[in-house]
Amino acid sequence: MKQYLELCRRVIDSGEWVENSRTGKRCLTVINADLEYDVSEGLLPVLTTKKLFWKQAIAEMLGYLRGYTSAADFRKIGCNTWNANANENAEWLANPFRKGPDDMGRCYGAQGRDWRNPEGESVDQLQGVYNDLRQGIDNRCEIMTFMNPGERDRACLNSCMHTHTFSVLGGKLYLTSYQRSDDLPLGHGFNQVQVGWLLMVMAQITGLRPATAFHKIVNVHVYEDQLVLLRDVQMKRDPLPLPKLHINPDIKTLRDLETWVTPDDFALEGYQHHPAIKYEFAV
């Protein structure tokens, strides 16, 4: 929480205003941020200065790992974050590659589980990383990326947290997650949880011990209609102790994540938080 609040203060004190063409709104913006989350004791990096719907964050990442490309599939597992981008984004609605209602196109899960090589063959990035980690292999290329420059025009939104690199050292699993764009008041809380959760759940299904997650962000911004609530409400609240994440011990393989796991297989012990804050969402 201290890292998050320090980043909020940095954006407010030294950020520059940028016009965002996609949303038609101005953003107070800084470039480059590095955060670290030690999850070795099971502490989940969840925001406490506002209530965070952490199960939705887990559901969203679970959908990515399953390769979902429809907002309808995300809704079925308790995540509503893709409804607007799939169905209300004017540019995407006019895109000839859109297949119909709820279609997200070739972003996130499509790339992680069904990347296409030059011959048009499917490459399952996550399966390859999982197979290596199960054997304790780290060839310095244990990478799953959701960013495919050749298919950016075929997605409702370019992937924000786009690349995850796993590293093994001394029987411990580390994760470095790269994010191109960060809506600090609204989206960041989800992303922070997802980074910590991804490291912990991948460690469990590969038989490794979770260590540290490194969260690297390029463009950090606050939309102009979010600034007052962030500055005058959330930042004036005192952070509370981080809760501990409990993962169902029956989750043992990638196949488990693909088939029967739900957000209810995860529980937070001791999650104390301030009241929720309704920030504006920019489509």
Tokens of 120: 């048009």
Tokens 């390859």: give the residue.
Answer: 128
- Total residues found in the chain within this entry: 283
Question: Would you call 8 a catalytic residue per the annotation?
Answer: no
Burial readout 3-32 (b: 16 or more C-beta within 10 A, e: otherwise): ebbebbeebbeebeeeeeeeeebbbbbbee
Cβ of 263: how many Cβ atoms within 10 Å?
17
Asked whether the beta carbons of 69 and 46 are under 8 A apart, the reply is: no
With the CA atoms of 280, 83, 90 and 105 taken in that order, what torsion angle do they form, in degrees rounded to the nearest 10? Answer: 130
β strands within 88-229, DSSP E = 115-116, 122-123, 143-145, 161-169, 172-183, 209-223
Q: At residue 149, what is the residue type?
A: P
Catalytic one of 8, 27, 107, 160: 160
With the CA atoms of 134, 129, 4 and 156 taken in that order, what torsion angle do they form, in degrees rounded to the nearest 10? Answer: -140
The span from the CA of 107 to the CA of 95, in Å, is 14
Tokens 């990515």: give the residue.
Answer: 64
Which residues are marked as active site?
Answer: 160
